[in-house]
Amino acid sequence: MKTKRRLGSKTSGSSQTDGLRSSQTESRKTSLGLVPRLGLFDATMLVMGGIIGTGIFVVPELIARQIHSSWLNLGVWMLGGLVAVCGGLVYAELSARYPEVGGQYAYLREAYHPIVSFLFGWGLLLVMQTGATASVAIIFARYFLDLTRAPLREGFVAGTAIAAFTLVNCLGVRIGGAVQSAFMVLKIFVILALAGCGLFLGHASPIPWTPVLDRPMSGDLLAAIGAALIPVLFTYSGWQAASFVSSEVRNPRKNMPLAIVLGIAGVIALYCLVTFVDLRILGPERLAMTPTPASAVMRIVLGERGVTTLAVGIMIAALGYISQAALTTPRVYYAMAQDKLFFKKLAWLPGKTRAPVLAILMQGVAAIAIALSGRYDQVLTYVMSVEFIFFCLTGITIFIFRRRAASAPERGGPGAIDQTPYEMPGYPYTTLLFIVVCACISVNMFHVYPLNTLLGLGIELTGIPVYFLWRLRNKTANEETAFEVIDEATVPTKGAWTERN
């Protein structure tokens, strides 16, 4: 009878969603097998590595095309930094409330429904992370081939770079974190070297600080600032990736918020410094006509030798981003497998490395396929607005978790007050600013690129039937397991059968 009641509880009573949440909660009460081996420095480098790619070397030209005042140019980068700080504060509190493997994936799962977090992971695998990795790898390949003149194909070089860092991160989070931190330090050195050359070696005219506004205050000015803010915010995005490895950071409730705040603050300082140097050497008008401002600055300061040096720096920045992507995002697929919403084998951890090897390999293969397809740029534009929709949803989770904690603090669990050593300053205004800006960007992307946005949404929606197929598969497996339990309980043992016969 006891066994039959257990069977009934599996097939009736609470809803399937409640049952899945219950199984996930029980799973999280035990160790998931990932070992905390990253310190504050590693986590900070991951935050900065997720943000700083190759965009800062080209995006200043896009900004100068929209606005022609030095004050406004720097102001847009500071405004974008403010939004990034607000977003970082959201993720800082979430990582303190719930330092779980998968980070943003876990926040979406706990706040809404498992299907929301599944779609987030689905988008990361199909386009968001793999497309970004492929795009940056192609940039590395172009600079590499331009410098070496090697008789190799662009896709082959890009794929080799992705494969190399995929294999490195299969060796474990400690090795992967050390490699990522080393590349991030090199990236910081490259940016500081660029800025130093522009500040101390360049012969430049004083920056024109007047007029403050390049046109009268009007809707046209606001539209220009808004248009300039979009590439700025894309250049600042990426801090969320560090949350994917929250469970592998030592003392995450303290170190993750601190790493996010320090990392974003460091990036803002570096970005504003590079913009200042671009304005000093090129000026607003020339900057607007220079598609590769960093190369132009180095050519003016050091000649062709400076351009070659910068090319090496851009290659280092690209490799650092690929390394960071291989380290962080596969933890989301690992969490999906732990929740029984993806291939079970993706949750396998080798005893020595304790790294989700198969999840890392899967992402590497997908990124290489996109790089070889030659459609990486198009794939990446499909999900820009979708990514910011998930940012909006993640920002809203702060309100959900705080409300749950206030209504039932004695329960503990995600969002409980006694589990939160950090609460973001400026709440709710900083959170609302982040949500509103992300929503505006998503709407703007739909307005400017309606076809690509709809394709991106279509790619995300393909995950819905996949999610229900996995749910059906798990339900069938659970029912078969339950019937096997009943059969074992009712079939007599060999000794009992012999006595009766």
pLDDT tens-digit map of 9-43:
333 334 444 444 444 444 443 334 788 888 999 99
Tokens of 488: 């074992």
Residue closest to 337 by CA, chosen among 361, 311, 356? 356
426: left (phi over 0), alpha (psi -120 to 50) or beta: left
pLDDT of 421: 62
Tokens of 328: 């962080």
What number is the average pLDDT over the span 470-487? 67
Alpha-carbon Rg of the chain, whole angstroms? 25
CB-neighbour burial class of residue 204 (10 A; exposed 0-12, middle 13-18, buried 19+): middle
CB of 340 closer than 8 Å to CB of 158: no
CB of 212 closer than 8 Å to CB of 67: no
Per-residue buried b or exposed e for 54-92, using 16+ beta carbons within 10 Å of the residue's own CB: bbbbbbbbbbbbbbbbbbbbbebbebbbbbbbbbbbbbb
Q: What are the domain boundaries of the chain?
A: 2-491
Q: How confident is the model at residue 146 (pLDDT cuts 50, 70, 90)?
A: confident
The yes-or-no verdict on residue 54 having pLDDT over 70 is: yes
pLDDT of 378: 66
**Taking CA 268 as the corner, what is the angle to CA 214 and CA 275, rounded to the nearest 5 degrees?**
45
pLDDT of 153: 92
In terms of average pLDDT, the best of 167-176, 413-422, 454-463 is: 167-176
Query: Residue 357 corresponds to which amino acid?
Result: V
Tokens of 372: 């070889």
pLDDT of 357: 95
- Give the separation between CA 443 and CA 63, rounded to whole angstroms: 20
Tokens of 165: 């860092």
Q: What is the 3-state secondary structure (H, E, C) of 336-378?
A: HHHCCCCCHHHHCCCCCCCCCHHHHHHHHHHHHHHHHHCCHHH
pLDDT of 483: 52
Q: How confident is the model at residue 329 (pLDDT cuts 50, 70, 90)?
A: very high
Backbone angles phi, psi at 212, to 5 degrees: -65, -45
Alpha helices by DSSP H, 124-243: 129-148, 154-170, 173-200, 219-236
- Give the separation between CA 340 and CA 20, rounded to whole angstroms: 9
Q: Is 215 helix (H, G, I), strand (E, B) or coil?
A: coil
Tokens of 440: 């505006």
N residues, the chain: 501
Tokens of 312: 């090496």
Tokens of 313: 């720096």
Q: What is the mean pLDDT of the chain?
A: 83
Contact partners, residue 147, CB within 8 Å, separation at least 6:
308, 311, 312, 315
The yes-or-no verdict on residue 216 having pLDDT over 70 is: yes
pLDDT of 120: 95
CB of 320 closer than 8 Å to CB of 184: yes
Q: How confident is the model at residue 362 (pLDDT cuts 50, 70, 90)?
A: very high
How far apart, in Å, are the Cα atoms of 10 and each of 23, 177, 331, 336, 344?
11, 42, 29, 21, 21
CB-neighbour burial class of residue 272 (10 A; exposed 0-12, middle 13-18, buried 19+): middle
What is the per-residue pLDDT across 61-98, written as a single tens digit (0 to 9) for each? 889 888 888 889 999 999 999 999 999 999 989 988 88
What number is the average pLDDT over the span 306-333? 92
Tokens 């005219």 locate to 205
CATH fold for domain 2-491: Amino acid/polyamine transporter I (1.20.1740)
What number is the average pLDDT over the span 403-420? 61
Contact partners, residue 294, CB within 8 Å, separation at least 6:
56, 57, 58, 194, 274, 278, 310, 314
If residue 112 lies in a helix (H) or strand (E), which one and from where to where?
A: none
Residue closest to 342 by CA, chosen among 243, 223, 467, 439? 467
pLDDT of 291: 84
pLDDT of 188: 93
Per-residue buried b or exposed e for 342-358, using 16+ beta carbons within 10 Å of the residue's own CB: beeebbebeeebbbbbb
Q: What percent of the chain lies above the pLDDT cut of 90?
A: 40
The DSSP 8-state label assigned to residue 419 in this structure reads G
- Give the separation between CA 209 and CA 167, rounded to whole angstroms: 50
The yes-or-no verdict on residue 379 having pLDDT over 70 is: no
